C-alpha cells in the first residue's frame, strides 16, 4: 500500500495550473521544479512515511516566501532547515506565517511529534500573485468562480491521501472560513471543522499577543482526540 508520503508526492506531481484565470493573475506551482521536489520528497519521507490518517489543517494558499518557494505548506527555507533539519540552498528569508506555525510546532513538541498527527495543507494547493504580490483565491470573485472546480477536485484528491473525516482545522476566520464553510456544507468533506485566526493575521496585527494565540492553538489542537 502506498504510504502517506508517496500519495502526497503523487498529488503534488499531478497538479496542473488552472485554466482561464483572470489575465492579471499568475499561478505559483513550485512542484514543477526538480530541486523543490527533492526537498519535498525528503520532508515527506522523513515525517509521513507510514499509512496513518491525520487531521488536516488548511491554510489559504501558498505564499511567495513559504510553500510557494519550498513546496511545503507553512514552511519557509529557514524552517525547513532549522526545524525540519532538511538542508537547502534557498534564500534564507523568514515568512511570517511560517514563523508563527513553527513557534507553535515547537510549543507542541517539535515536528516529529506534530506531523505524526497533523498534515498542513491549503484550501488551494497552488498559490497566486497579482503584480508580484501574494493574492488569495478569494480576493476576487471572478478568480474564485474560476478556481472553484479546481479547489473542489483537489480537496477530494487531498482527502484520499489519508485524512481523518471526522474533524479538520482551518486557519483563517474571515473569508477563508466563509468559503470553506460553504464548500463543506455542500460536499460534506468533514463532520466538524475548527477555525483559528490565520498566522499572518496574528503576526501582523496581534504580535504582542503571540503567547495568547499559541495557547489558543494548543487548546484547539489538543481538543481533537488523537
pLDDT score of 226: 66
Write the pLDDT tens digit of every residue in 42-71: 999 999 999 999 999 999 999 999 999 999
Average pLDDT of span 142-170: 96
66, 19 contact by CB (below 8 A): no
> Per-residue pLDDT for 40 more than 90?
yes
Write the pLDDT tens digit of every residue in 11-25: 999 999 888 898 889
pLDDT score of 137: 96
Cα 19 to chain centroid, rounded? 22
The band of 144, judged by pLDDT with boundaries at 50, 70 and 90, is: very high
Average pLDDT of span 147-169: 97
- Residues counted in the chain: 226
> Per-residue pLDDT for 158 more than 80?
yes
- Residue written as grid cell 489558543: 216
> Per-residue pLDDT for 74 more than 90?
yes
Contacts 24+ apart (CB under 8 A), 178-181: 178/138, 179/123, 179/137, 179/138, 179/144, 180/58, 180/123
pLDDT score of 199: 97
> Per-residue pLDDT for 106 more than 90?
yes
Cite the DSSP H helix spans in the chain.
4-14, 34-47, 67-70, 77-82, 96-108, 111-115, 141-162, 175-187, 199-205, 210-223
* Residue ranges covered by each domain of the chain: 23-219
Look at the domain 23-219 and name its fold.
Uracil-DNA Glycosylase, subunit E (3.40.470)
Beta-carbon contacts of residue 141 (< 8 Å; ≥ 6 apart): none
pLDDT score of 197: 98
> Per-residue pLDDT for 146 more than 70?
yes
Indicate the average pLDDT of the chain: 96
Average pLDDT of span 152-174: 97
pLDDT score of 225: 67
> Per-residue pLDDT for 139 more than 90?
yes
Amino acid at each position: 500500500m502506498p504510504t502517506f508520503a508517496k500519495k502526497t508526492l503523487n498529488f503534488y506531481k499531478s497538479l496542473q495550473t488552472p485554466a482561464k484565470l483572470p489575465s492579471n493573475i499568475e499561478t505559483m506551482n513550485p512542484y514543477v521544479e526538480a530541486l523543490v521536489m527533492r526537498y519535498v520528497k525528503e520532508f515527506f519521507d522523513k515525517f509521513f512515511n507510514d499509512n496513518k490518517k491525520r487531521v488536516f489543517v488548511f491554510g489559504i494558499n501558498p505564499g511567495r516566501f513559504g510553500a510557494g518557494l519550498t513546496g511545503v505548506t507553512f514552511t519557509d527555507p529557514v524552517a525547513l532547515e532549522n526545524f525540519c533539519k532538511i538542508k537547502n540552498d534557498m534564500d534564507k528569508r523568514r515568512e511570517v506565517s511560517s514563523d508563527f506555525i513553527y513557534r507553535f510546532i515547537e510549543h507542541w513538541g517539535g515536528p516529529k511529534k506534530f506531523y505524526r498527527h497533523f498534515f498542513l495543507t491549503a484550501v488551494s494547493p497552488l498559490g497566486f500573485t497579482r503584480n508580484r504580490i501574494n493574492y488569495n483565491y478569494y480576493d476576487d470573485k471572478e478568480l474564485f468562480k474560476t478556481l472553484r472546480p479546481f479547489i473542489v477536485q483537489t480537496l477530494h484528491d487531498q482527502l484520499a491521501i489519508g485524512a481523518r473525516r471526522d474533524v479538520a482545522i482551518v486557519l483563517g476566520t474571515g473569508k477563508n472560513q466563509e468559503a470553506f464553510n460553504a464548500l463543506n456544507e455542500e460536499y460534506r468533506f468533514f463532520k466538524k471543522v475548527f477555525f483559528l485566526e490565520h498566522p499572518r493575521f496574528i503576526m501582523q496585527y496581534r504580535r504582542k499577543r503571540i503567547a495568547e494565540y499559541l495557547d489558543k492553538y494548543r487548546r484547539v489542537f489538543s481538543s481533537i482526540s488523537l
